[in-house]
Amino acid sequence: MSESPKVRGAYGSGRATKEAILVAATELFGDKGYYGFSLRDVAKIVGISHPAVIYHFPTKEALLFSTMARWHSQLGIDAIKVNPGTGETTVGDYKHSLTGLGAALLRLTALEEFPMLARFDSTMATEAASPGHPLHDHYSERMQHIRALIVERVDLLAEEKWCVPLFSSEGIADMLIGAWYGGLIVSEYPDGLEPGQYLVGRLLALAVKILQLGSDGLLAIAAAVPEELAGSFQRVLIVNRELTR
């Protein structure tokens, strides 16, 4: 397990302590699952007392909800909000195109802590399939709304003649969501490639293939990538080229 930020007693601010706890929790939830550790384990990793953890997060469920809220803040899709106190998930109107969603994923994979964030998401998504899991409703909501976004955007792209989909928009949505979560697992076993770029490159290769996206579509994707992500997107294109040769 990688070293988590240390907080030196009274010298560490409350905010820094809380962030250190959330970083440690992200790694523990990813490595051990919701049921595999205690708040005392979190305290030991961060280097603070057990009561100090409880001060910020009275229960492990409260810690889980706050950790998921932090994950979404890292992803940067404002439409999905997680209440860190109750775990309630609210989904507003999506303002993102598919390229906007792709840019959010690319930004996430470019983060230094992406491997830890990826493991957290894949572990929680698997565990939350159980109806009794604290995040079951959250993942049900997230999957439903992201699927609806993809269906809507694929239908629009087809209507405007940007692509000629090989499958129904519903089928394409299921394939892309499955590719993301399958890719999170694949990224744990890298083959000489940066896991984040491999994951997004694999997703792009699949999307281009099943949408039969033309050169104009690829140029539109490139134009939508923020300047600060240009280097990451270039590596994604290299992976895409290798996968589609």
- The predicted pLDDT at position 11 comes to 42
Question: CA 229, CA 33: separation in Å to the nearest integer?
Answer: 32
pLDDT (tens digit, 9 = 90+) per residue, 152-171?
989 988 998 888 999 999 99
Is residue 31 within 8 A of residue 1, CB to CB? The reply is yes
Residue 85 vs residues 89, 173, 179: alpha-carbon distances, Å: 11, 31, 31
Predicted pLDDT at 1: 53
Measure the CA–CA gap between 116 and 155, rounded to whole angstroms.
34
Q: Are 68 and 85 in contact (CB under 8 A)?
A: no
**Sequence-distant (≥ 6) Cβ neighbours of residue 142 within 8 angstroms:** 80, 89, 91
Q: Which of helix, strand or coil describes residue 90?
A: strand
By the 8 A CB rule, do 144 and 177 touch? Answer: no
User: According to the model, what pLDDT value does residue 146 have?
Assistant: 86
Q: In this structure, are residues 114 and 195 in contact, taking their beta carbons and an 8 Å threshold? A: yes
Question: Over the chain (245 residues), what is each successive 10-residue block's mean pLDDT?
Answer: 50 81 97 97 96 95 94 72 65 59 79 90 95 94 88 90 93 94 80 71 85 79 76 76 71
Q: What is the pTM of this model?
A: 0.81
pLDDT of residue 145: 84
- What does the angle CA 111 – CA 65 – CA 128 come to, to the nearest 5 degrees? 90
Q: What is residue 80's three-state secondary structure?
A: strand
DSSP H or E run through 175: helix 169-186
What's the CA gap between 138 and 81, in Å, rounded?
10
Task: Say what the pLDDT of residue 29 is.
Answer: 98
pLDDT of residue 94: 47
Main-chain dihedrals φ then ψ at residue 90, nearest 5 degrees? -120, 140
pLDDT recorded at residue 147: 92
The full set of domains in the chain, from first to last, is 9-58 (1.10.10.60), 79-244 (1.10.357)
